[in-house]
Amino acid sequence: MNILEKFIEEIKLVYGQNLKSVILFGSKASGEDTKKHSDYNLLIVVNDISFNDLKSLRKMIKFWTKEGHQPPIIFTTERMGKSADVFPIEFLDMKDNHKILFGEDPFRNITIHDTHLRHECEFELKGKLLKLRQGYMLSQSKSDLQNLLIDSITTFLIVFRHVIRLLNEEPPLKRIDALKVLAEKTKINPEVFITIFNMKRGDKEALKKDPELIIEEYLKEIERVVDVVDNLVISKIL
C-alpha cells in the first residue's frame, strides 16, 4: 500500500459514512507532474465538518506533509456548491483535471459564471504581477531570480487556460498547449513562458539562460495578457 492509498484509508476511517468524495487534482491528475516540483493535491468532500474529525486527521496530516504533500482541501457538499463564485478557476481546473479516488463526482452540479471567472483571472494576474515585481526588486542573485521565475510560472499558466475560456474557446488540458492557443488568439509571445516551464522541468539548456533577461520579457508579456482581460466584455455561464 503506497502513501496515497494509506492516506485515503485513514480518511475513510475518520469520516465513515460522512465521506462523500476523495478527489485527486492538479499535475498528478493531468499528467504534467515533475519529480522535483509535484505533489499530491486532494479534495475531500463530506456532509459535515466537525472539529473532532479535523483533530483525528492531524497525526496523518503531519506524516503526509513531511512527505512533501499539501494538506487536503476539505469542503462540505453544501459549502462547495455555494463557493463557485469565489473559486471559479480552482473549481474549473479541478473539474477539467481530476480523478475520483473514492465516492461520487462533486463537480457534476457546479455552475460557473463567466463574470466570476473574469474577476478571479484579473485578480490573480494583477496580484501575481505585483508580487513578481516585488520579488525581482528583492532578489540578490541569479539563483534568486531563477527560483522566482520557476515558482511563479504554474500560476500564470493556470490562469491563462481560463483566459482562453473567456475568449470563447475550450482550453486544451495541457497548460503548454493552452499557452500556444492563447498566443494565437492574443499575439503574445509564448517563448518566454515555455523557457521558464522548461526550467521548472529541469531542462539544462533552459537553466543556463540569464534570468535577468528572461524576467524582463516575462513581465512585458504578462502585462499584455492583463490588458486582454481588462478589455473583455462577457455575459455567459460556463
> Collapsing DSSP states into helix, strand and coil, what is residue 44?
strand
Q: What percent of the chain has pLDDT over 90?
A: 78
Burial 49-58 (b: 16+ CB within 10 A, else e): eeeebeebbe
Average pLDDT over residues 114-120: 95
Helix segments in 67-190, DSSP class H = 77-81, 88-96, 114-138, 142-166, 175-186
User: Would you state the pLDDT for residue 37?
Assistant: 46
| Domain range summary for the chain, segments of one domain joined by + | 3-103, 114-230
User: Is-contact 221 194, C-beta < 8 A?
Assistant: no
> What is the residue-averaged pLDDT of the chain?
91
Q: pLDDT per residue over 59-74, tens digit each? A: 889 889 988 888 999 9
User: Would you state the pLDDT for residue 32?
Assistant: 59
User: Is-contact 216 192, C-beta < 8 A?
Assistant: no
1-5, 57-61, 216-220: which has the highest mean pLDDT? 216-220
Q: What percent of the chain has pLDDT over 70?
A: 92
> Collapsing DSSP states into helix, strand and coil, what is residue 216?
helix
Average pLDDT over residues 8-32: 86
User: Band of the pLDDT at 31, cuts 50, 70, 90?
Assistant: low
The C-alpha atoms of residue 109 and residue 131 are separated, in whole angstroms, by 35
Q: Is residue 140 scored above 50 in pLDDT? A: yes
User: Would you state the pLDDT for residue 40?
Assistant: 85
User: Cell 463530506 belongs to which residue?
Assistant: 46
Q: Is residue 27 scored above 80 in pLDDT? A: no
Specify whether domain 3-103 bears CATH 3.40.50.2300.
no
